[in-house]
Amino acid sequence: MTTRNVDARRLNVKGLLIAIGLPVVLVGALVATLLGTGAFSRDSELEDESLWLWTTPAGEIARVNGLTAATDVRFPLTDAAGNEVQIVQTDSHLLLREIVSGKVSAIDLSTLELTGEAETAPGEGVRLALADEGAFIIDQTQGLVNQVDPSTLAAIGDPLQFPAGLTGGAFDKSGKLWVGVPREGTIVQIEPKDQGAKTVATEVVAEPRQELALTVLGDGVAVLNSTAKQMTTLRSDGRRSVTDVELAGPAETAETSPGTIASVTVTDPPSVITVNDEESQRFAIAAAPSNLLGASVEFHQRIYVPDGASGLVWVYDLEGKELDRIEIDAGGGPVEMYHTGDTLFANALNTNAAVVVSANGNARQAEKDRDDILGGNAPPEDDDSQGDEGDDEGSEESAPQIGPPGSVTNLRGTVGDGLINLSWDAAPNNGSALTKYTIEGAGETWEIAPDQRVLEIGDLTNGTPYSFTVTAHNAEGQGDPATSPTITPSADVPDPVGSVEAVANNDGTVKVSWDEANGQGNDVSGYQIEAIASGKQVVVGQSDTTTFTVPEGTLDYGTGYVFQVTTLAGAAASSPSAPSNSVTPFNVPEAPTDLLAETATDAAGSIDVRWQKPSDNGRPIEKYIVRAGDKAKEVSNATAVRMDGFADGEQVTVSVTAVNEAGESEPATTTSNTMVAPQVAITGWSSDTHYMTIEFTFDDGGGDAECQLVRHPSSGEVLDTKEACDGSITSTKYYSSTEYTWAVKITNPVGSVKSGKQLTETKAINGTVYFGCSEQSTNYCDKPNADGGGADGVSIRSQPSGGSHLGYVKTGRTLTAKCWTTGPEVKPRGPESDGTHDYHPGKDATDKWIRVNYGDNENAFISFAWFNIDGEGKNSTGGLVPCN
């Protein structure tokens, strides 16, 4: 991959310009919401250093305040997840372009109105630029720069026409727009005017058809020529510098940077190149090679490098010393950097994480999904693929060992009056991205970008034969040269064709048609067709009729192209035709990815299906068709659905296809089972004096299961503890020293099942009888109980009051206690006929009665006045529970 200059790596001076997902149909809803709250008021202007940041999976924008690092507004865009939109904003205007459809909308922030709409060619190849001084829609594919009213989007004056395939398009601090023209090797400064834009200056910065990337700096503009490995810097005071750079591999550049130093990220080997006029420096960075290593920027004498693969923003000083590693949860996706005022923003597109960096280097985390703000809660990815720079043949397993590239093929030439047009097919890159082609012949050498596989060579002598060699280069070296046949320019050439029209078909092909050309006395032998996009120009084929269909897969889906046709008369050729209309090739979407079908845990006969949005291949995905068994559902604006109506335990085959204008994708398929009835079996138990814990194994049947203890007294069932199943369950508090019978009941949405019964027993609490008559001789103690005395001991009764007598116990008798209740009060001391006597020293009068085991009687009671719980004080019942 060579240096890229695309929306997904853009840093702007006047605000934010990023590739995000925001269908323009939702702009009205956005404005209505903000109107209703006043959120999009003066507080949102860029003077307070706030920016709107995007989260791809959620389909949501959030406004982050650069001064406080706090998110103050969120807005979910239901249809937006995974799609791309360009957003540009100033203090007073917000422009949005839906990339897939090409529709542009304008919001006036002073009135909070949706004030204008415009149509552009769909796909990549058109971009917006906005500053206080004016607004532009730049059709990079067509080479058109259109000044528009930022409120209405109405055209202001005539568009400026440049050769097709522009790059860049960003404002500098003086309010001038900079655009690159790779086919001419120039950059152009454009000034917005009341009557329409005008070109202020044109600077030659490279040989024609070399790869250029523009970075608008805080002072001037820097142009990276990846083909020649040079950086040209133009300052606002007119100074111009050209510096060689150590460009050892693919590179990323920002379109704008707040400082005066230009910075380039080399993704492999990971390094940074800084250029300050004639001074150039390269230093290695600690990141690993990755296509998620983004464009670096210089901000207050520090270099910031976003790294989505490691979830970091690397910070270095200008000498290459590491200063900091700012953590950011990137979620395996890109991290992009923007700035406004004196604040730098790092935004993770795949997550709700962002970082705000102040001028002193202080970094603060900014959560985009705060719940305590307007907009509330957010839903929960985008494969950042680039066009090929040479064919990478075969799969990973069969890919050639990394090395120098192969030779170009199909090297051919057409001739005109004093000129030759060379074209060729891409050389195999052999695992390392192509960096340039070198062309030699006619005593000269040219270097052009790898996507510019067409070269017009002029100032040649008619009738003189020429031969040329073309050599491909990558980071590993150069390939073998390919030599053209002898080509002889001639003044005897046919006319160019007229009325070139292109139509994108729904099978990935593009049909190009044109009027028949006048051969001017030559026999027209055919026509050569070239496709031109931003930074690209390739020959796609030849035709002997006035139509040609570009085969499926030849062009990048979702990228805008224009076509030029050259008339052929043997080896002679006309000048290229005027460009066709712009078209964006498209095809059916790719199959949905990461398809997962799972048993629905909260509903019988149901499965839950979810997937990830695939590549739309140039047209928006309108819906998904989910098929499960004999059932089907259409899903719009979501990547998840529940399929129901199946039998319990049924195995269901699931497929999901994506549908766009071209039709239905290949299916993604998987299988899942619906829920079945649960199962449970007791495996053991344990207890203490009051609680019993039942151990069990279970199968939840694939559903959300709940388990409950069921007690089985002789009279039926009593429901006890209920909780989520985890293999054990503990009862509520019960009597000590008591047997209980239990079962475990398990329930899921299909039904309920009970285990077998399990007999358990709580551990014993013992106590000892103390009754003074066992040790004393008093009138009371010397009389039998039948005569109103206590000689026989303490009576055990079936009830505390009114129960039957079960027997007598004396001091020292051990009984097992179960619980306590209340009954007649008993005083252990007091006056009698022969004096005052204490029958239980230290015991208080009490109305408590203790239920005990007495022989075969489990319903037996003794007054607490004559009973001491082992291990407790005389007046404490310890852990005994009240009797029910």
Instruction: Give pLDDT tens digits for 567-600.
Output: 998 878 898 999 999 999 999 999 999 999 999 9
Q: What is d(CA 142, CA 121) in angstroms, rounded to the nearest whole number?
A: 10
pLDDT digits (tens, 9 = 90+) for 751-775: 999 999 999 999 999 999 999 999 9
What is the percent of the chain with per-residue pLDDT over 90, rounded to a whole number? Answer: 69
Percent of residues, the chain, with pLDDT higher than 70: 90
> How far lies 12's CA from each of 93, 145, 599, in Å?
15, 18, 47
Please report which confidence band the pLDDT of residue 79 belongs to, taking 50, 70 and 90 as the band edges: low
**Residue 610 pLDDT > 70, yes or no?**
yes
Measure the CA dihedral 228/255/294/78, to 10°.
-140
User: What is the enclosing helix (H) or strand (E) of 211?
Assistant: none
Q: What pLDDT score was predicted for residue 111?
A: 65
User: What is the SS3 assignment for 207?
Assistant: coil
Cα distance between residue 122 and residue 119, in whole Å: 9
Q: Would you state the pLDDT for residue 38?
A: 29
Specify whether the CB–CB gap between 457 and 422 falls below 8 A.
yes
43 versus 121: the higher-pLDDT residue is 121
Query: What is the side-by-side order of every strand in the sheet holding 547-550?
Result: 501-504, 510-513, 547-550
78-92, 402-416, 668-682, 752-766: least confident range: 78-92
Q: Which amino acid is at 176?
A: K
Annotate 120-139 with DSSP letters as a single string. Answer: --SSBSEEEEEETTEEEEEE
Whole-number pLDDT of residue 49: 73
Joined together, the tokens standing for residue 186 give 């120039």
Report which secondary-structure segment, H or E, holds 412: strand 409-416
Query: Measured in whole angstroms, how far is the alpha carbon of residue 58 from the centre of its chain?
Result: 7
Mean pLDDT confidence for 371-384:
52
654 CB neighbour count, 10 Å cutoff: 22
Listed residue (306, 308, 240) closest to 277, CA to CA = 240
pLDDT band at 112 (very low <50, low <70, confident <90, very high): low
Cα–Cα distance between 655 and 591 in angstroms, integer?
Answer: 10
C-alpha 875/C-alpha 868 separation (Å) is: 8
pLDDT by residue (tens digit) across 224-277?
999 999 999 999 999 999 999 998 888 999 989 999 999 999 999 999 999 999
Do residues 231 and 225 lie in contact, with contact meaning Cβ atoms separated by under 8 Å? yes
Length of the chain: 884
**β-strand pairing of 829-832 with 251-253:** unpaired
Q: How confident is the model at residue 375 (pLDDT cuts 50, 70, 90)?
A: low
CA torsion 630-631-634-638 (nearest 10°) is: -110
Residue 8 pLDDT: 28
598 sits in which H/E element: strand 593-599
Give the amino acid at 381.
E
What pLDDT band is residue 11 in, cutting at 50, 70 and 90? very low
Residue 2's pLDDT is 30
To which H or E segment does residue 34 belong? helix 27-37
CB proximity list for 838: less than 8 A, separation 6 or greater: 772, 828, 829
Q: What is the pLDDT of residues 777-812, one digit of tens each?
A: 999 999 999 999 999 999 999 999 888 999 999 999
pLDDT band at 80 (very low <50, low <70, confident <90, very high): low
Is pLDDT at 622 greater than 90 in this prediction? yes
Q: What is the mean pLDDT of residues 388-410?
A: 63
Transcribe 1-30 into DSSP letters. ---B--GGG---SSS--EEE---GGGHHHH
Contact between residue 40 and residue 108 where contact means Cβ atoms under 8 Å apart: no
Taking residues 672-688, report their average pLDDT.
96
Asked whether residue 37 carries a pLDDT value surpassing 70, the answer given is no
What confidence tier does 1 reach under pLDDT thresholds 50, 70, 90? very low
Mean pLDDT of all residues in 314-331: 95
709 C-beta neighbours (distance < 10 Å), count: 22
Residue 269: is the preceding peptide bond cis (ω within 30°)? yes
CB contact at 8 A, 194 and 186: no
DSSP annotation of 559 reads: B
Q: Point out which residues pair with 878 in neighbouring strands.
A: none
> Whole-number mean pLDDT of the chain?
87
pLDDT of residue 376: 56
* Listed ranges 77-81, 346-350, 371-375; the one with the highest mean pLDDT: 346-350
Contact (CB, 8 A) for 746 and 753: yes
User: If you search the block for the tokens 């004498």, which residue do you land on?
Assistant: 301
Residues 652, 653, 658, 663: is their CA dihedral positive or negative?
negative
